[in-house]
Amino acid sequence: MTKLNVARVDLAGRRVFLRVDWNVPLKDGRVGDDTRITAALPTVRHCLDQGASVVIASHLGRPKGKPDPAFSLAPVAAHLGGLLGRSVPLAPDCVGPEAERMARGLAGGELLLLENLRFHAEEEANDEGFARGLAALADLYVNDAFAAAHRAHASIEAITHFLKPAVAGLLMSKELEALSRIFERPRPPLLAVLGGAKVSDKLALVEHLLEKVDGLLVGGGMAFTFLAALGHDVGRSLLERDRIEAARRVLDRARARGIAVRLPVDVVVASGPDATEGIRTVSVREIPRDLMGLDIGQGTVAQFAAALKGAGTIIWNGPMGVFEKAPFAAGTIEVGRAVADSGGFSVIGGGDTIAAVQAAGVTARIGYISTAGGAFLEFLEGRELPGVAALTEAPPGETG
């Protein structure tokens, strides 16, 4: 990680534009899950403690480029105030005279939350004029929004053309350090566990991982396309027929490189994800044509757990089945326990994956839990993230 860190910058008397990703669920006008807020609190507190005034910016939901009270950050301001034990003012907009007046009026150790960035279509368009308006609010840029770093938006990329230095927040630095460790200095063997619905969503990731990992464990709906590539009849299970040949090429490439790809040997089948009757476990060779696979079976869990037991480093993204439905959650939860029991350094990302380790009660035994979904996957694919690329490079020896 070669980006300048906020801990290496003198903040006293500075006005900081702090980009966070507080795109959190709201329920009845309140924050439903504050994981992303609390993850960025160390950076907020660090800036305040160092004597900076802090202008915080985030997006929330998809308000389609215009103001929408349903996506106001007011509940976030109230929740943040409770966490910090102080009132958190909310600017009526994120740019313009009033936002500038409120930002200029901050004293050292004070903070301001801007209204939703996505109330302006220019944010997602990475508009330079809009970015200039944001940059006018501060004299130093800090990005702690790794979860949004894969998006070239005005508050993430264009703003850094006008506001320098552009430095990594404490959370951003932690994310980059943990994810870089996977590929730059993993403790072998390095295993990847992938789940989720579609092969097409993760084909680029699988192809990149084949250059890095010692083994690959595949579950979830995406496993059925690989099983079909091996000649199995997968019944009514999720299947991307136009990706079967690509899956076959992946398996051939893995075999040529000596990389073990473990697929389910048994699956839990039913008539559909809402079924409450007729749920049973069958071999992948015996999936009934009128049923669909909705979770991995216990035989697969045992094989995956045995493979993970000797892992030095583990990457995990994606559930092993329809995790949100109780009858089909067991496989994902058991894999979560196996990852925690492995003794290896584990890095996980994605909402369902995080929910799985929480349901398994093993959160404290996971090496690193990323706050990101899309950015996590794109980083693992080896793609350059605009929000990371835009940050100021650190002088030698100044990255910590």
User: Which residues are tagged catalytic?
Assistant: 36, 198, 351, 374
Spatial strand order in the sheet of 368-369: 260-262, 215-218, 190-194, 313-317, 345-348, 368-369
Token pair for residue 272?
Answer: 């559909």
